[in-house]
């Protein structure tokens, strides 16, 4: 009987399903028939392209194609009569925008491209693909298109959008007007790839039998071409709505699918019409429904019964397993009688045991525990068994030799019957490795923070308001040192006003603490304390109201006084060097002018020795030029750091000589006091530089004392200049100007002080600037102290200025003590006579015509053979071919074309056997290092006289003569 009922029900459902399918088919056919009833025709002009194969094109003079047939069918379905306007696509679009016809048959919307019309719903959506040459094998992913010659059809098309979205810039971009043209370019090898609609490209490939084009499925979704029709915006006849209705009608009747199959069916998977779906799918669905209903009734009772039995158990097990997994807790059961150990899956996971290998044994677990901790594990288990209670233990286990875990072991005896002995243990293990790591890491961080807190040189702590002052909640030792207190002084709990600090210091900190509390954000500032001229970098962080009900503040204070002083010194040094570069450049030009003056004056003096009057005039010219040379030499001290000619100097003798020199010229009211010990170590420095330093400082002190003598009326005051010196160890100061790797053997501090006018702060900040002077016009050049600063820093020393207005000024010069090298060989070399060698073949490269002419004339009168080149490039072209024809190359540095250093480098690369002499009005330290690397034999500073020029050439050629003799 149940079977009969089910079969009757199945037959009923099957009949109902079939009836529904027949009814649905009848409705579709009725709608199709009603849609195909003829409607009153209305004539519209339709723009149909003739160059869009296979969508719309001419064949034997007749319009055909998928879009042409489809739009005709849609217009006919809604009673519209079509008059086709035939032309290429570009022309049709232009004419449509000018309003020459009603409907544009083919329009593909492009984002960002302006359009003067309204588009219908898409009547055809075609997916795209990349088409490439078959022999173009380097194209596997989209980014490979950057190596391709890619064709773009039209402007702002889907292919360009794809390239832009994926940031692809092809190796070459080729544009064409149609897809037909693009595919033929790939076929002929004129391009590598193009983005095209699959169906259209396949139609063209089939029609033209293109064999060198392949399709690549590497284009993601979202790059389809949606073909629509377009009408003018705001069309009053609602033409767009009618055409959309026509497309909907032919879609329902299946005519759309028939046209699609006819044109593209061979390139696409078959598409079933709505009637076919209903006709074939309805019986299948009815059968499937019947089978489903049978299975449902058959299994419902069994499923309900099993669900009731297992639901609660499954939920409990799932909750327990999840809880154990989250807490890293596993449970176990051990029977001492059978020695059977049962482990939960989480316990096995903790101990790195694969559940497929079965449970662990107690012996295997003991092997994981270090020997030193096994006794504690035994003791905990026995205690639980004997006492009937529980035991707890934390121990290490090694599931693998290279893996250590920390677990918390808990055991509880299972209560036996009264009078019986306990022999079953239950318990848990919990993996607390990560917890222990965190605890150790936290402990390490606490130790690190404590070490930083106690040892950081900055002041760090927390204060809170306490009436009109502040109370320290905590403060590190650096805070006590910052206040000038002992670092062990306990500040916690003390009031700022009770620390017995100067009032200015107390008010200073109270002011900044209050200012920070009035803000909501962090206050970062730099502040200066006038007392002691201290500078602080402040970081003050408001913490809000503390547990005591008072506003609290965290402070971090750094004493940056020394850094400020160093920054100011570096800044001043950079400023002076910058000015020195400018001055040095000017001095270089003066040297070029003075060189021919000196040379010509000497030459004329030699030629007219018998004319005493002319010789006197020429001597005046030479002396004036030499004074100019001395001035430029002083100016060049600002623009270079050349290696000075050092010698051993006794400071006491040098001071005595300068005082004796100036004593007749100094006002007798000024007392000169020298307290320089004779026992001071000798200096190995440039004696001329030291003389200039002392002389400039003495003259500067004399001038300020004379000024004060002319103004003072106090007869008890006595003007004096005091010179003192003392010796110190190698670590007495840190000089930023000492550039050698090894430290000096010691330092000499030379102090020259006066009790003159003194200087205000703004003058002290600029006193070492070149051309800065406080004297009247004509009474000072502003180069004296600037020269002192440059000479001291060039020696690697340091100068410190201290001055008070009305009290006087003190200059401290820290001079390095370096051991003098063995000068015996050098003195012997100097005393040896230099042979006079004439007839040297010289190539002179000098761009200044006046200097070159004078030097060439001088050299020829000294019986040398001179060839002159003005341009660096011309000189190099000549030397590259005729270098062996010269004994000496005489170079200037600043040359047009190739400069002097580059010529020297190149000619040394040719293994030039002669000598190289550089004559320049300005040599920098980098030039001197470059000369040494290249192999320049000597350099001559402009201006110079004929004697110095001849002596330098003889020195160079003496080396050449020694080398030739050694080879012989």
Over the stretch 818-844, which tens digit does the pLDDT of each residue have?
877 764 444 434 333 434 455 899 999
Q: How many residues does the chain have?
A: 968
Residue 426's nearest CA partner among 375, 386, 380, 390 is 390
> What is the tally of helices (H) and strands (E) in the chain?
27, 36
Confidence of residue 869 (pLDDT cuts 50, 70, 90): very high
Of 218-232, 520-534, 617-631, which gets the smallest average pLDDT?
617-631
Beta carbons within 8 Å of 493's beta carbon, 6+ residues apart: 471, 472, 473
The helix/strand/coil state of 770 is coil
Q: Using CA atoms, how far apart are residues 227 and 297, in angstroms rounded to an integer? A: 51
Answer left, alpha or beta for residue 114, where phi above 0 means left and psi between -120 and 50 means alpha.
Answer: beta
Q: What confidence score (pLDDT) does residue 237 get? A: 52
Q: What confidence score (pLDDT) does residue 781 get? A: 54
CA dist list (Å): 650 to 513, 797, 799: 56, 17, 20
CA dist list (Å): 167 to 31, 136, 148, 746: 50, 21, 14, 66
Whether the per-residue pLDDT at 704 is higher than 90: the answer is no
Q: What confidence score (pLDDT) does residue 723 get? A: 92
Q: Show the tokens assigned to 567.
A: 């920054």
Sign of CA dihedral 317, 320, 324, 326: positive
Pinpoint the alpha helices (H) of 118-178: 158-165
Ranked by mean pLDDT, the top range of 18-27, 265-274, 827-836 is 265-274
CB 152 within 8 A of CB 169: no
Q: Using CA atoms, how far apart are residues 37 and 526, in angstroms rounded to an integer? A: 93
DSSP 400-424: ETTEEEEEEEEEEEPP-STTPPP-E
Q: Using CA atoms, how far apart are residues 779 and 378, in angstroms rounded to an integer? A: 102
Q: What confidence score (pLDDT) does residue 842 get? A: 92
Q: What confidence score (pLDDT) does residue 639 get? A: 47
Whether the per-residue pLDDT at 31 is higher than 60: the answer is no
pLDDT digits over 541-566, tens only? 998 898 888 999 999 998 888 787 77
Of 76-90, 258-272, 526-540, 783-797, which gets the smallest average pLDDT?
258-272
Q: What percent of the chain has pLDDT over 90?
A: 8
pLDDT digits over 89-129, tens only? 888 888 888 888 888 888 888 766 677 678 888 888 888 88
Q: Which helix (H) or strand (E) is 129 found in, with range?
A: strand 128-133
How large is the average pLDDT for residues 300-310? 71
CA dist list (Å): 356 to 348, 353, 363, 634: 10, 9, 19, 93
Pinpoint the alpha helices (H) of 254-370: 255-264, 274-327, 345-350, 362-368
Q: What confidence score (pLDDT) does residue 312 get? A: 66
CB 580 within 8 A of CB 639: yes
pLDDT digits over 483-528, tens only? 888 878 888 888 988 888 888 888 999 999 999 998 888 999 888 8
Cross-strand pairs, 800: 812
Q: What confidence score (pLDDT) does residue 364 get? A: 85
Whether the per-residue pLDDT at 577 is higher than 70: the answer is no
CB 396 within 8 A of CB 387: no
CB 934 within 8 A of CB 908: yes
pLDDT digits over 159-184, tens only? 888 888 888 889 898 988 888 888 99
DSSP 775-822: SPTTS--S-HHHHHHHHHHHTT-EEEEEEETTTEEEEEEEEEE-PPP-
Query: Tokens 């060439």, residue?
Result: 856
CB neighbourhood size of 684 (10 A): 17
Query: Tokens 């954000």, residue?
Result: 521
Cross-strand pairs, 865: 841
Whether the per-residue pLDDT at 583 is higher than 70: the answer is no
Q: Is the peptide bond before 128 cis (omega within 30 degrees of 0)?
A: no
Q: Using CA atoms, how far apart are residues 505 and 557, in angstroms rounded to an integer? A: 14
Confidence of residue 959 (pLDDT cuts 50, 70, 90): low
CA 4 from centroid of its chain's CA atoms: 84
CB neighbourhood size of 214 (10 A): 17
Sign of CA dihedral 434, 436, 441, 445: positive
Confidence of residue 632 (pLDDT cuts 50, 70, 90): low
Rounded to 5 degrees, φ, ψ at 668 are: -65, -15
Cross-strand pairs, 804: 808
Q: Which helix (H) or strand (E) is 763 found in, with range?
A: helix 761-764
Q: Using CA atoms, how far apart are residues 551 and 518, in angstroms rounded to an integer? A: 10
CB neighbourhood size of 449 (10 A): 10
CA dist list (Å): 772 to 375, 699, 764: 88, 16, 11
CA dist list (Å): 831 to 162, 688, 947: 86, 21, 18
Whether the per-residue pLDDT at 749 is higher than 90: the answer is yes
Q: What confidence score (pLDDT) does residue 421 get? A: 63
CB 128 within 8 A of CB 195: yes
Beta carbons within 8 Å of 947's beta carbon, 6+ residues apart: 602
DSSP 340: E
Q: Which helix (H) or strand (E) is 175 found in, with range?
A: strand 172-176
CA dist list (Å): 928 to 256, 787, 891, 934: 90, 21, 14, 10
**CB-based burial, 280-293: b 16+ in 10 Å, e otherwise:** eebeeebeeebeee
pLDDT digits over 335-360, tens only? 877 788 888 888 888 888 887 777 78
Q: Using CA atoms, how far apart are residues 290 and 492, in angstroms rounded to an integer? A: 87
Whether the per-residue pLDDT at 948 is higher than 70: the answer is yes
Whether the per-residue pLDDT at 897 is higher than 80: the answer is yes
Confidence of residue 581 (pLDDT cuts 50, 70, 90): low
DSSP 943: S
Longest CA–CA span in the chain (Å) reads 160
Confidence of residue 580 (pLDDT cuts 50, 70, 90): low
434: buried, middle or exposed (CB in 10 Å: 19+, 13-18, 0-12)? exposed
- In 620-686 the beta strands, taken as DSSP E runs, fall at 647-649, 670-675, 683-685
DSSP 683-752: EEE-HHHHHHHHHHHHHHHHHHHHHHHHH---TT--EEEEEEEEEE-TTS---TT--SSSPPSEEEEEEE
Q: What confidence score (pLDDT) does residue 390 get? A: 66
Q: What is the pTM (predicted TM-score) of this model?
A: 0.35
Pinpoint the alpha helices (H) of 36-83: 66-77
């Amino acid at each position: 009987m149940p079977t009969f009922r089910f079969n009757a029900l199945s037959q009923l459902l099957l009949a109902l399903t079939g009836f529904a399918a027949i009814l649905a088919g009848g409705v579709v056919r009725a709608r199709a028939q009603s849609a195909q009833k003829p409607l009153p025709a209305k004539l519209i002009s339709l723009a149909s392209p003739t160059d869009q194969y296979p969508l719309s094109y001419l064949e034997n003079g007749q319009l055909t194609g998928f879009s042409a047939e489809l739009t005709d069918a849609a217009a006919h379905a809604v009673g519209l009569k079509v008059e086709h306007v035939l032309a290429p696509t570009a022309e049709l679009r232009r004419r449509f925008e000018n309003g020459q016809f009603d409907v544009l048959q083919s329009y593909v919307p492009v984002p960002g491209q302006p359009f003067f019309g309204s588009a219908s719903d898409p009547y055809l959506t075609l997916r795209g693909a990349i088409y490439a040459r078959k022999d173009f094998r380097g194209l596997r992913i989209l980014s490979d298109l950057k190596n391709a010659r890619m064709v773009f059809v039209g402007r702002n098309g889907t292919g360009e959008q794809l390239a832009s979205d994926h940031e692809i810039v092809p190796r070459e971009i080729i544009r064409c007007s149609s897809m037909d043209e693009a595919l033929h370019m790939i076929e002929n090898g004129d391009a590598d790839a193009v983005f095209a609609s699959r169906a259209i490209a396949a139609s063209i490939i089939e029609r033209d039998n293109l064999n060198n084009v392949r399709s690549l499925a590497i284009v993601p979704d979202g790059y389809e071409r949606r073909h629509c029709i377009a009408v003018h915006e705001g069309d009053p006849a609602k033409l767009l709505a009618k055409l959309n209705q026509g497309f909907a009608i032919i879609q329902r009747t299946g005519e759309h699918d028939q046209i699609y199959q006819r044109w593209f069916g061979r390139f696409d998977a078959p598409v079933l019409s709505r009637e076919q779906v209903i006709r074939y799918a309805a019986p299948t669905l009815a059968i499937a429904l019947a089978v489903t209903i049978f299975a449902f009734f058959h299994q419902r009772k069994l499923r309900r019964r099993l669900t009731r039995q297992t639901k609660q158990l499954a939920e409990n097990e799932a909750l327990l397993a999840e809880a154990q997994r989250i807490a890293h807790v596993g449970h176990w059961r051990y029977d001492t009688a059978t020695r059977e150990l049962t482990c939960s899956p989480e316990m096995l996971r903790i101990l790195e045991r694969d559940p497929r290998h079965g449970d662990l044994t107690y012996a295997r677990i003991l092997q994981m525990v270090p020997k030193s901790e096994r006794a504690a594990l035994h003791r905990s288990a026995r205690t639980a068994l004997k006492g009937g209670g529980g035991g707890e233990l934390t121990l290490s286990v090694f599931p693998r030799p290279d893996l250590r875990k920390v677990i918390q072991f808990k055991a509880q005896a299972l209560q036996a019957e009264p009078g019986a002995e306990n022999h079953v243990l239950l318990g848990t293990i919990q993996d607390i490795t990560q917890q222990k790591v965190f605890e150790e890491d936290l402990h390490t961080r606490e130790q690190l923070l404590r070490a930083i807190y106690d040892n950081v040189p900055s002041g760090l702590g927390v204060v809170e308001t306490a009436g009109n002052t502040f109370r320290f909640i905590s403060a590190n030792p650096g805070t006590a040192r910052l206040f000038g207190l002992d670092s062990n002084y306990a500040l916690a709990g003390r009031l700022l006003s009770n620390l017995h600090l100067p009032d200015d210091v107390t008010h200073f900190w109270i002011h900044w603490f209050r200012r920070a509390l009035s803000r909501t954000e962090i206050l970062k500032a730099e502040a200066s304390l006038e007392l002691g001229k201290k500078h602080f970098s402040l970081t003050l962080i408001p913490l809000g109201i503390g547990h005591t009900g008072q506003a609290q503040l965290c402070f971090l204070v750094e004493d940056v006084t020394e850094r400020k002083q160093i920054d100011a010194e570096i800044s001043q040094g950079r400023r002076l060097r910058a000015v020195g570069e400018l001055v040095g450049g000017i001095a270089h030009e003066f040297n070029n002018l003075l060189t021919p003056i000196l040379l010509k004056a000497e030459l004329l003096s030699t030629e007219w020795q018998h004319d005493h009057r002319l010789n006197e005039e020429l001597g005046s010219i030479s002396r004036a030029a030499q004074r100019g040379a001395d001035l430029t030499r002083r100016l060049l001290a600002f623009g270079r750091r050349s290696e000075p000619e050092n010698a051993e100097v006794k400071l006491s003798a040098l001071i005595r000589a300068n005082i004796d020199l100036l004593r007749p010229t100094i006002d007798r009211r000024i007392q000169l006091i020298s307290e320089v010990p004779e026992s001071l170590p000798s200096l190995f420095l440039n004696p001329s530089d030291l003389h200039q330093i002392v002389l400039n400082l003495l003259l500067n002190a004399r001038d300020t004392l004379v000024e004060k003598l002319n103004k003072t009326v106090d007869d008890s005051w006595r003007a004096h200049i005091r010179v003192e010196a003392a010796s110190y160890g190698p670590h007495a100061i840190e000089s930023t100007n000492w550039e050698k790797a090894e430290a000096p053997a010691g330092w000499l501090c030379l102090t020259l002080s006066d009790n003159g006018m003194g200087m205000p702060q703004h003058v002290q900040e600029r006193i070492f600037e070149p051309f800065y002077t406080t004297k009247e016009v004509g009474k000072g050049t502003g180069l004296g102290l600037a020269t002192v600063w440059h000479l001291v820093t060039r020696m690697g020393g340091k100068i410190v200025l201290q001055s008070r207005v009305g009290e006087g000024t003190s200059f401290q010069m820290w001079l390095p003590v370096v051991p003098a090298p063995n000068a015996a060989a050098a003195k012997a070399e100097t005393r040896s006579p230099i042979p006079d060698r004439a007839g040297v073949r010289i190539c002179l490269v000098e761009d200044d015509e006046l200097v070159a002419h004078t030097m060439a004339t001088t050299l020829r009168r000294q019986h040398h053979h001179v060839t002159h080149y003005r341009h660096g490039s011309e000189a190099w072209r000549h030397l590259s071919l005729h270098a062996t024809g010269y004994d000496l190359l005489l170079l200037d540095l600043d040359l047009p074309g190739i400069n002097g250093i580059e010529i020297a480098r190149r000619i040394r690369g040719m293994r030039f056997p002669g000598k190289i002499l550089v004559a320049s009005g300005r040599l920098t330290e980098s030039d001197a290092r470059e000369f040494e690397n290249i192999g320049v034999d000597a350099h001559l500073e402009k201006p110079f006289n004929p004697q110095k020029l001849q002596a330098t050439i003889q020195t160079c050629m003496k080396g050449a003569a020694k080398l030739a003799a050694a080879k012989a």
